[in-house]
Amino acid sequence: MTTSSNKPAQELTIKNTQNTAEKTSSTRRNAKQYTEAIAKLFVVNHLIMETEECSIEQRTQQREQKEREAQQANLEKILKIAYDVSNEDSANMPDPDWLAQFMSIAKNIHSANMQALWGRVLKKEVIAPGSFSIKALNTLKNMTKKDAHAFQHACSLSCSFGTDQGRKLLTGAISHKMSLLVIPKREQSKLTLGQYQLPYHELLSLIELGIIHASELESGSISQHQALPLNYQNHHFKILANSKISTLTYYRFTPTGNELAHLLPVSLYEGYQTDLINLLNRYFMVESS
């Protein structure tokens, strides 16, 4: 009895599922349709549509006109963003060559997220001309939205230590402890950046863009007597080594990476900070300052 009473409901569910699947299938575009849509968007769909309404010269003019209009709209959006985020701080006109390069690149930035970045670039350059090199502009031009997210994650994990204010990605610590043997015992702990939303393939992308140096570096030996300042996202610490030879391992931002990092606000990754402090406490005396 139970089976027969449930049968109509089951059939209805199956039919509804099939109808939903059919609707989804019918509304989903295939590769041909997407290609046709792209061709239409860029006014190069003449052979696909097999129309003879316009000459090739007219079609070229239509395509170029549409491209110029899109570029004009992109520039207007970016300049409006720069205007909206600006205030009444003292400012100067950027270098003409820099400004020409900026406009040449910015006109082809279509993504709203990337336009927001370019707006902030202009705002900062107006306040302090020379903040961004032309090399930094070209690097930003080659960034995809995915690259920008990876860069944002890298910046949220970055710190600085010592007198060098350049950003670094701390990846671990090494201690060489004296033993009865002639050779000191090496002990190392690592932080896997992939655990904090920066997987290795994204780190490689940032390296290829010239934002982070390719080699993982090791610092000089950290003193047992003179505290080393360490700054993580405006949280300040001082560290003293527990053993005679203790070092830090890290990836270093390039000058271009440090320039572009000024575009992003301070962003604390609490899980990383907790694990970083726990790691440091194994090899150093850590004091919050």
- From CA 285, how far away is CA 277, in angstroms rounded? 10
pLDDT at 97: 96
pLDDT at 90: 85
Burial class of residue 179 in the structure, from the number of CB atoms within 10 Å of its CB (0-12 exposed, 13-18 middle, 19+ buried): exposed
Asked whether residue 272 carries a pLDDT value surpassing 90, the answer given is yes
- From CA 265, how far away is CA 173, in angstroms rounded? 27
pLDDT at 180: 59
pLDDT in tens, 158-174: 999 998 999 999 999 99
SS (H, E, C) 83-99: HHHCCCCCCCCCCHHHH
Asked whether residue 9 carries a pLDDT value surpassing 70, the answer given is no
pLDDT in tens, 228-255: 999 999 999 999 998 888 999 999 999 9
Burial class of residue 238 in the structure, from the number of CB atoms within 10 Å of its CB (0-12 exposed, 13-18 middle, 19+ buried): middle
pLDDT at 279: 94
pLDDT at 87: 87
Least confident stretch, 78-82, 173-177, 182-186, 193-197 = 182-186
On whether the pTM is more than 0.85, the answer is: no
Asked whether residue 137 carries a pLDDT value surpassing 80, the answer given is yes
Confidence of residue 37 (pLDDT cuts 50, 70, 90): confident
Cβ atoms of residues 207 and 253 within 8 Å: no
pLDDT at 14: 42
Q: Report the percentage of the chain scoring pLDDT > 70.
A: 88
Range 172-193 average pLDDT? 80
- From CA 117, how far away is CA 147, in angstroms rounded? 13
Asked whether residue 2 carries a pLDDT value surpassing 80, the answer given is no
pLDDT in tens, 70-121: 999 999 999 999 999 998 888 899 999 999 999 999 999 999 989 999 999 9
Asked whether residue 184 carries a pLDDT value surpassing 80, the answer given is no
- From CA 125, how far away is CA 89, in angstroms rounded? 12
